């Protein structure tokens, strides 16, 4: 499945829960997650979307780990079933 189709489903699913998804660009940080998911009364989540057959690049994995060490929650979502898992974990 293409990344843009996964993104559309994520946005639709988050909005159905009263939340918002923002696409972000990082200046000077190569490999950081490119979406922010905000749900009411929940901590902000950083999300990297990937086409179903794609994996994180090594530089992305390093940046995500740096963010986790700073207490940030980062996710990699590569399919519709992973969106369901992600949203279930937010409940």
What domains, with CATH codes, occur in the chain?
Answer: 3-90 (3.40.1350.10)
Would the pTM of this model clear 0.75, i.e. be above it? yes
Give residue-wise pLDDT tens across range 32-43.
999 999 999 999
The CA R_g of the chain, rounded to the nearest whole Å, is 13
Q: Is 83 exposed, middle or buried (0-12, 13-18, 19+ CB in 10 A)?
A: buried
Give residue-wise pLDDT tens across range 61-85.
999 999 999 999 999 999 999 999 9
- Which residues, 6+ apart, have CB-to-CB distance to 25 below 8 Å? 34
Q: Tokens 């909005």 — which residue?
A: 15
75 contacts 4 by C-beta, under 8 angstroms: no
């Amino acid at each position: 499945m293409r990344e843009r189709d996964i993104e559309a489903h994520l946005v639709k699913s988050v909005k159905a829960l009263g939340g918002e998804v923002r696409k972000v660009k990082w200046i000077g940080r190569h490999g950081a997650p490119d979406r922010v998911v905000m749900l009411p009364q929940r901590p902000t989540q950083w999300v990297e979307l990937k086409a179903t057959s794609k994996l994180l690049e090594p530089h992305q994995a390093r940046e995500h780990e740096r963010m986790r060490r700073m207490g940030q929650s980062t996710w990699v979502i590569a399919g519709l079933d992973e969106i369901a898992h992600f949203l279930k974990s937010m409940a």
